[in-house]
């Protein structure tokens, strides 16, 4: 705990310095400060970020879309402290996102985090998230809540990411963008939107094809995203979101050993080649959000959504273990549906302003899943057939009361019940049908102190929990003897966190600073212990986490700005019951230090030039801490120009990734079998394109 004390001492010094600076230079301007302008929904209602007793970051449209290659969310999220991303270039394994360590164990998909897109969950009832339908070319805003949030969002809420699609402007527009680059990168996008009477509409279609830096890395995907909002009357509106995904190709080059990396960074894992490793999917999603003001002091929101997903993948499974087949072809049909209702009440309690929100969430996921033998890249005989059902029911209440003119107290709790059921229909290896229930209570307590109008200090006690997914509960995770059937004994993980932070604007709001310090105990953390034949196995362990997160942005001139995000993490294994030799080791897959810095020049003519770099400290690749991944510094450059010509706006752009040709690994597969741990990142590469927008003025 010496680190926690050091971090707290540093944070106190920063707070006192900030308070002193603000007290000596009060801003007489009546304009809103950055802290007031940043409106977030991290508490499930719109609030200024200064009213939230937690670390919240906002990424705006210009940092998501302008001049970006738009291959992955990490292009934008690298600027958020506490967030660590890997695997941008492997579309079969998906982006691996972690917030304060939550999600780092996932070798595919996103775990431990709750993700929403326009208020509709992208996190399934079993806790796994997918971002296949996220169109970065039409995303106007990303909001990241860093740290445990189960008191509001339920399971898998080690952090929360909210994404928001563009709205249609008052004057209709049409915009087309073409992007091309090395490794046969091509992306085409067409989007349009506007306002017609009471209807606001936006629709976007895009197509991506990309061969990738390594062999067997090709991807092809088409997306359709749309959002329609109808103002029923002055008190109510209905939003409908609809999306389609068709990705017939997303190949998997696989992880390779350090010797293979030295020999040829572009090579694919030979077994991945022989197994035809990769995936394909189609997905359709529709969601409805109804808002109504019930009175001057109360309002209601109702959500309802449906998702259909057809998925197939060839995995390079090769266990070579008796009774465990090489069943590396996985197919499933998924139906995910759910909804919820939420009420907000504002009023007075004990003579003080008071706000209460309460609601219910229901999510249900049904998977019809089969496995087949992978016979040298050809689908073989059936080896696994089961129906999986995950049901999640949650109820939450949160109260915020102003205990004084400057201090707000927040109390909240949530109760969740999660039921996981498997109906085995492949009985050649005995009946493995099973069910398990989880019942979780998640409280939170927070304080916000407005030191001045532009600076505040907050503290919170927050909790989260995460249930294992069906894959993590499968009986082979126990001892690889499939004859046992049923679920293994992996338990739900629970986290308790204490956090202190401050944020505010200084020097007439030309500088904005956000600092957070936290200490966390995670019990029964679901931990990867091995990776055999591309299949991961899990156990529980206890971990301690503490860290420091700093974000700052400074307007050096009216045209030049500098931003920096620094993360220090001290994540240790406290107790590993099945292998005490791991006790005291660092959590694998996470660096101790990460630094993002960006210098941006924006000229009144529409020309911009942005340079950034990301430093990632060395990290361990396994629980034993016997293998490390080297530190890396990757720099990027992008520039462009937006020029208005009558109703037309022409915007050419150019980008250079990995400007100084750093040799680094874009992903590390934790506890990979046979030393196959590393997925090399691309060498220096260039992309460019042009956007053409038509909008009558």
Task: Give the number of other CB atoms < 10 A from CB of residue 399.
Answer: 16
8-state DSSP, 49: G
Element at 82 (helix H, strand E): none
SS3 category, 75: helix
Q: What is the pLDDT of residues 249-269, one digit of tens each?
A: 999 999 999 999 999 999 999
Token pair belonging to 141: 């805003």
Element at 35 (helix H, strand E): helix 34-37
Starting at the earlier edge strand, list the strands of the sheet with 139-146.
55-60, 139-146, 159-165, 114-117, 120-121
Statement: residue 8 has pLDDT above 80: no
Local confidence band at 598 (pLDDT 50, 70, 90 cut-offs): very high
pLDDT at 20: 41
Q: Which of 127-141, 201-215, 418-432 has the lowest mean pLDDT?
A: 418-432
pLDDT at 43: 93
3-state helix, strand, coil in the chain (%, to 5): 10, 60, 30
Mean pLDDT to the nearest integer, 578-584 = 92
Q: Which CATH number fits domain 2-594+664-681: 3.40.190.170, 2.40.170.20, 3.40.1010.10, 3.40.47.10?
A: 2.40.170.20
Angle at 298 between CA 297 and CA 299, to 5 degrees: 140
* Predicted TM-score (pTM) above 0.75: yes
pLDDT at 519: 98
Local confidence band at 536 (pLDDT 50, 70, 90 cut-offs): low
8 Å CB contact between 204 and 224:
yes
pLDDT at 204: 98
Mean pLDDT to the nearest integer, 583-593 = 96
Mean pLDDT to the nearest integer, 72-101 = 94
Mean pLDDT to the nearest integer, 131-147 = 95
Task: Give the number of other CB atoms < 10 A from CB of residue 120.
Answer: 24
Paired sense of beta strands 185-196 and 199-210, if any: antiparallel
8 Å CB contact between 672 and 621:
yes
pLDDT at 535: 61
Position with higher pLDDT, 276 vs 318:
276
**Selection from 655, 648, 643 nearest residue 682 by Cα:** 655
Local confidence band at 479 (pLDDT 50, 70, 90 cut-offs): very low
pLDDT at 322: 47
The answer for residues whose C-beta is within 8 angstroms of residue 510's C-beta and 6 or more apart is 554, 555
Mean pLDDT to the nearest integer, 572-590 = 93
Length of the chain: 697
Average pLDDT, the chain: 91
pLDDT at 140: 97
Mean pLDDT to the nearest integer, 543-554 = 97
pLDDT at 26: 41
First to last CA, the chain: 60
Mean pLDDT to the nearest integer, 160-171 = 97
Statement: residue 440 has pLDDT above 90: yes
Alpha carbon distance 198, 204 (integer Å): 20
Alpha carbon distance 176, 656 (integer Å): 22
pLDDT at 25: 39
Residue with tokens 């806790």: 127
Q: What is the pLDDT of residues 619-678, one digit of tens each?
A: 999 999 999 999 999 999 999 999 999 999 999 999 999 999 999 999 999 888 889 999
Mean pLDDT to the nearest integer, 208-225 = 97
Paired sense of beta strands 607-616 and 632-641, if any: antiparallel
User: What percent of the chain has a predicted confidence (pLDDT) above 70?
Assistant: 91
pLDDT at 449: 97
8 Å CB contact between 445 and 459:
no
The answer for residues whose C-beta is within 8 angstroms of residue 101's C-beta and 6 or more apart is 158, 543, 545, 569, 571, 587, 590
User: What percent of the chain has a predicted confidence (pLDDT) above 90?
Assistant: 80
Token pair belonging to 387: 């129906």
Paired sense of beta strands 114-117 and 159-165, if any: parallel
Domain ranges of the chain: 2-594+664-681
Alpha carbon distance 484, 226 (integer Å): 47
Mean pLDDT to the nearest integer, 60-72 = 96
Q: Which of 125-134, 244-253, 321-330 has the lowest mean pLDDT?
A: 321-330
8 Å CB contact between 47 and 585:
no
Alpha carbon distance 192, 227 (integer Å): 11
8 Å CB contact between 190 and 166:
no
Strand partners, 362: 339, 393
Provide DSSP, 584-648: TPBPTT--SEEEEEEEEEE-TTSEEEEEEEEEE--EESSTT---EE--EEEEEEEEEE-EEETTE
Q: What is the pLDDT of residues 29-50, one digit of tens each?
A: 446 777 878 899 999 999 999 9
pLDDT at 489: 76
Mean pLDDT to the nearest integer, 70-90 = 95
Three-class SS string for 307-368?
A: EEEEEEEECCCCCCECCECCCCEEEEEEEEEEEEEEEEEEEEECCEEEEEEEEEEEEEEEEE
Q: What is the pLDDT of residues 320-343, one digit of tens each?
A: 444 455 678 999 999 999 999 999
Residue 616: half-sphere exposure toward Cβ, Cα within 13 Å: 26
pLDDT at 3: 43
SS3 category, 261: helix
Q: What is the pLDDT of residues 369-384, one digit of tens each?
A: 999 999 889 999 999 8
Q: Supply φ then ψ for residue 190, to 5 degrees.
A: -135, 125
Alpha carbon distance 297, 353 (integer Å): 12
Mean pLDDT to the nearest integer, 597-614 = 98
Residue with tokens 């087309």: 176
**CA-based Rg of the chain, rounded to a whole angstrom?**
25
pLDDT at 31: 63
């Amino acid at each position: 705990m010496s680190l926690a004390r050091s971090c707290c001492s540093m944070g106190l010094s920063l707070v006192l310095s900030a308070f002193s600076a603000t007290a000596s230079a009060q801003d007489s301007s009546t304009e809103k400060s950055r802290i007031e302008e940043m409106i977030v929904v991290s508490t499930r209602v719109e609030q200024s970020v200064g009213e939230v007793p937690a670390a919240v970051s906002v990424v705006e449209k210009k940092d998501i879309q302008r001049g970006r290659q738009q291959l992955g969310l990490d292009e934008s999220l690298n600027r958020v402290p506490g967030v660590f991303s890997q695997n941008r270039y492997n579309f079969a394994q998906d982006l691996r996102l972690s917030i304060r360590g939550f999600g780092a164990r996932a070798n595919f998909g996103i775990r431990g985090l709750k993700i929403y897109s326009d208020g509709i969950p992208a996190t399934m009832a079993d806790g796994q998230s997918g971002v296949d339908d996220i169109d970065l070319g039409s995303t106007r805003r990303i909001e990241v809540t860093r740290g445990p949030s189960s008191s509001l969002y339920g399971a898998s809420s080690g952090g929360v990411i909210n994404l928001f699609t563009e709205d249609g402007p008052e004057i209709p527009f049409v915009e087309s963008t073409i992007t091309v680059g090395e490794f046969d990168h091509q992306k085409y996008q067409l989007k349009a939107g506007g306002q017609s009477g009471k209807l606001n509409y936006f629709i976007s279609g895009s197509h991506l094809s990309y061969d990738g830096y390594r062999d067997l890395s090709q991807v092809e995907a088409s997306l359709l995203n749309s959002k329609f909002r109808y103002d029923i009357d002055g008190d109510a509106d209905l939003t409908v979101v609809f999306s389609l995904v068709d990705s017939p190709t997303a190949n998997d080059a696989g992880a390779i050993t350090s010797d293979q990396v030295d020999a040829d960074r572009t090579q694919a894992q030979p077994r991945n080649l022989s197994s035809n490793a990769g995936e394909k999917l189609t997905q359709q999603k529709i969601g409805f959000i109804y808002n109504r003001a019930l009175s001057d002091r109360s309002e209601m929101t109702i959500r309802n959504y449906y998702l259909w997903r057809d998925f197939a993948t060839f995995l390079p499974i090769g266990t070579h273990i008796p009774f465990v087949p090489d069943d590396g072809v996985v197919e499933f049909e998924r139906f995910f549906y759910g909804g919820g209702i939420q009420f907000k009440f504002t009023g007075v309690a004990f003579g003080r302003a008071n706000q209460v929100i309460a609601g219910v969430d229901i999510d249900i996921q049904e998977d019809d899943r089969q496995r087949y033998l992978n016979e040298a890249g050809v689908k073989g005989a059936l080896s696994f057939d089961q129906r999986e059902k995950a049901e999640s029911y949650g109820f939450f209440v949160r109260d915020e009361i102003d205990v004084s003119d400057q201090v707000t107290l927040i109390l909240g709790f949530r109760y969740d019940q999660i039921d996981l059921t498997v109906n085995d229909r492949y009985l050649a290896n005995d009946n493995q049908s099973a069910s398990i229930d989880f019942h979780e209570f998640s409280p939170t307590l927070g304080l916000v102190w407005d030191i001045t109008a532009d600076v505040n200090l907050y503290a919170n006690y927050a909790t989260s929990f995460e249930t294992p997914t069906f894959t993590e509960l499968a009986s082979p995770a126990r001892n690889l003897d499939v004859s046992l059937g049923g679920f293994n004994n992996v338990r739900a993980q629970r986290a308790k966190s204490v956090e202190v932070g401050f944020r505010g604007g200084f020097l007439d709001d030309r500088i904005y600073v956000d600092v957070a310090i936290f200490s966390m105990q995670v019990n029964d953390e679901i931990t990867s212990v091995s990776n055999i034949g591309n299949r991961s196995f899990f156990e529980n362990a206890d971990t301690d986490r503490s860290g420091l997160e700093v974000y700052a942005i400074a307007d050096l001139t009216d045209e030049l700005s500098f931003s920096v995000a620094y993360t220090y993490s001290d994540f240790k294994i406290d107790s590993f019951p099945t292998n005490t030799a791991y006790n005291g080791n660092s959590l694998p897959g996470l660096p101790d230090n990460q630094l993002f810095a960006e210098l941006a020049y924006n000229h009144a003519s529409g020309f911009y030039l942005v340079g950034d770099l990301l430093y990632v400290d060395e990290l361990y690749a396994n629980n034993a801490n016997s293998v490390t991944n080297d530190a890396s510094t990757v720099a990027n450059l992008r520039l462009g120009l937006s020029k208005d010509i009558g109703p037309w706006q022409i915007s050419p752009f150019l980008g250079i990734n990995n400007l100084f040709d750093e040799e680094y690994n874009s992903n590390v597969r934790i506890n990979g079998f046979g030393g196959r741990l590393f997925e090399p990142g691309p060498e220096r590469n260039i992309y460019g394109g042009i956007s053409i927008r038509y909008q009558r003025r």
